[in-house]
Chain A
Amino acid sequence: MKILVAVKRVVDHNVRIRVRPDGSGVETQGVRMSMNPFCKHAVEAAVQLAEAGQADEIVVVSIGPKPANDVILTALAMGAHRGILIETDQALETLASAKLLARVVDEEKPDLVLLGKQAVDDDSNHVGQMLAALTDRPQATFASGITLEEGALKVTREVDYGRETLALPLPAIVTADLRLNIPRNAALPMVMKARSKPLAVRPAAEFGVDLTPRLKVEKISPPPERVAGSRVGSVSELAAIIAADIDAMEAI
């Protein structure tokens, strides 16, 4: 089985982001970047399937500027076999990203495509679902468990009411949630070895996809700030406050 994993380079999730005062966006200059956490779970799931003898090739793809090579190298160090960078300096909307990935799916014909469920920069949670539509494949989003038995894929999903398990025919698209697995930190020899694995850099223009944004970002603004209120010293004071709040609620 062949697996394609799509990964995104984002502002590291431990960085406290800063909104530019002119409203033009979030400051990304001189900020630490790394692989989107959800994408790491997707890579780990692919590597575990390969280690279990259920996948023989893992291709990892990313879309972004040249430094996005770093997140592909991270995935190669974790155990993926080769990488593709679709190079563009333009910030893409999710539909354009999904269309580029659909072209890669056409070329590579993977049995399974794994992605993170969302990227922690724009928090969109779109691309896996869009790719499933564009390639007309079944999807299982927000996966917390993946098993493959005799070519039948079973995915447990985290949903609002609890969990559910789907059976999907291959080829299929699966997006990873955080409880899917614990991503490994690649050991140094693997990091060194990753540099010798094939990594193709291809300009986005080569794919013939219209990347023009559909939406206009009018502004990016900071959220309203919360400040500390009062401290109370006893349970009875706190109970009185809660009781008063609830009385006020009922008055509405």
Chain B
Amino acid sequence: MLSFTKIKVLSIYLILILTIFFASLNLKNNNLIDKKVNLGLDLQGGSYILLEIDTKPLVNQKLQSKIIPIKKLLSKNEINFKDFTISLDKIAFAINKNDQKKFKNLFFKKQENTINNFISEYNKFELDLEFIENKAFIQFSSFGLVSLNNTALKQSIEIIRRRIDDVGTKEPTILQRGDRRIVVELPGIDNPERIKELLGKTAQLTFRLVTKEDGFGSEKLILSENDEELMVSKRVVISGDNLADAQPQYDSQSNQPLVRFNLDRIGAQKFGRVTTDNVGRRLAIVLDNSVISAPNIREAITAGTGTISGGFSFQEATDLALLLRSGALPAPINIVEERTVGPDLGKDSIDAGIFSLMVGFILIIIFMFVKYRIFGLVSNISLIANLFMLIGILTILEATLTLPGIAGIILTVGMAVDSNVLIYERIREELKTEKSIIHAFDIGYNKAKITVIDANVTTLIAAAILFIFGSGPVKGFAVTLGIGIITTLFSAYFIARHLTSVIVLNDKKGKYFKL
């Protein structure tokens, strides 16, 4: 166990130097190799936001859109039906028993089926049909729901990305988690509140006429400027989909902030037609069920451009323009988890973490030297090498260092000593019975090997499970703990063992072997 071939020694120290080189990359900016340990949000400050999409309204909306096509399909094929109703997630109607089979065949037609889409990915239909007595029930199949969720989630991620990019935060991370959640990580932002407001808004924009009729085709909405109640038609003139651009501006006359928008070709045509026909009426501009403004139509607007003024501040106008540009979310989104750390706390945490790391490290080094003298020194050298290698590997992997991660490093330092202690204690025992010093060291290393591996595998298991189940900072801990075990084994069995062998082989008089 004490003999090393030259090539072995060379590769051991080459690996060590390589990892030290990578560790040193963290000290200054290097353009050649751009690798660094990333700081977690808890250390550099920033926000972690977990969003959950609420697809219930979307399911209902999609079902609503099926009503007319289904009715058309029924009439076209001369199938009688009555009592047509729709609840939150179900369409129901009465149908004669002898017509049921016919309807079923039409409903599950694979080609050119515009009502019930066939999802080829799952080889299943989007909607389920069920007959109970003379009633038919239509609802989304589980596959339809998954597909609906997925599409909505993908769209939402795209829109959220646009919104965040527009605000101009550095290096945001936007990821899908599971089938209804989105993780947003925003390092180093100083005002998460603004972003949260931007993320949470559905931003469904519609232009609708204000009416006097109270009835099925209209609804009561509140004008947010002055809490005025308005009767607004449910018929949408144009929606946010027709916007080509939106920018904040100051009104040239009143100097009030407003949002100027440009419509696409279809939107401009529609807008022109409606404004021509309705001069003198009020047009409500509705955002997420509240009216931001309801100006009078003074003249036909055919140029496809207009302004929205709602007594906003310039910041509000900027944000509204941003929301309109990025488009509406397909479904409402809620923040279900948020963790924000201010930059000054992050800085304090790094300082405290690194300081306690240094202190713990020095205490252990002193302890080992006092206890094992020259072999303590060997163990200390391997401990320092261990630390460099750990940081070097974290750099190579561009891993994220978190506050618990720093704790993991300190813990690694504390436990790394264990391998050397196990070995030295073993050698000490062997020296009692064994006459040859070299032989005692040899046996000691050999016998301790099994124990060292057993002991480290158990910690590695804990680290792996933490990595799989942990989130954010805890994952950072698992990473440093896991890598720490590997570097510990390397430094104990290669570096420390080599240094020990150099000492033992050169110590003919047995000056140092008193452990």
- Asked if A and B are interacting partners, one says no
Residues on B facing A (Cβ under 8 Å): none
A interface list, Cβ under 8 A from B = none
